[in-house]
Amino acid sequence: MVTWSLDGFALPTSERFTVDQFVADDVVTSYINITSVTTADAGEYTCLFKNVAGEVSHSNRINVYGELLIRPMPEVIAIFGKPLRLKCPVGGYPVDSVTWAKGTTPLPKSVHQKVLPEGILLFENVVKSDAGAYQVLLFFLLFIHFFSKT
């Protein structure tokens, strides 16, 4: 069985996304075809293959130049005492930094939280005080070049 995800969540339901696969020489090849690509389609795509022998996955980021945006995230349910990894579902490119906050407090705010450079918020072990609403701020550098002719 082959499943695809975008930034750790199910692929958007859209006629623009076609997922297909074929078998040649006992090798299964699965692919996604996206028509009329937009910045919302940017992100980390993962293909997960499972069978009775086990599972294997491959992930790769697709960047689409354009205005930055954050795709809606479903509610996340965490298990007390277990690790949790949240990846910001960002579209657009380039993204220079991703900053997480809980309320108005920038993260990390404790030793069991880490913000990784690729925009991932990592909880080493979830505690009760981690519950709540989180925000993400995206930053990009804008370079303006002025040319003068003398």
| Same domain, residue pair 77 and 56 | no
Which domain does 36 fall in, by range? 2-62
Cα-flanking dihedrals φ and ψ of residue 131, to 5°?
-65, 145
Q: Which two tokens stand for residue 150?
A: 């003398």
The verdict on 72 and 128 lying in the same domain is yes
Q: Which pLDDT tens digit goes with each residue over 16-52?
A: 999 999 999 988 899 999 999 999 999 999 999 999 9
> Over 80: is that where the pLDDT of 142 sits?
no
pLDDT exceeds 50 at position 150: no
Same domain, 17 and 74: no
Q: What pTM value is reported for the model?
A: 0.78
Residue 101: inside a domain: yes
Residues 133 and 73 in one domain: yes
Position 147 in a domain: no
Mean pLDDT of 98-107: 88
Whole-angstrom distance, CA of residue 31 vs CA of residue 86 = 25
Q: Which two tokens stand for residue 57?
A: 């996955």
* Closest to 28 in 3D by CA, of 53, 5, 62, 60: 53
Strand, helix or coil for residue 83: coil
Let me know whether 57 and 74 are in one domain. no
**Residue owning tokens 């995800």:** 5
Question: Which of 44, 62, 80 is the C-terminal boundary of a domain?
Answer: 62
Do 78 and 37 belong together in one domain? no
What average pLDDT does range 110-115 have in this prediction? 89
Count of structural domains within the chain: 2
**111 and 128 belong to one structural domain:** yes
pLDDT at 97 over 60: yes
Whether 81 and 132 share a structural domain: yes
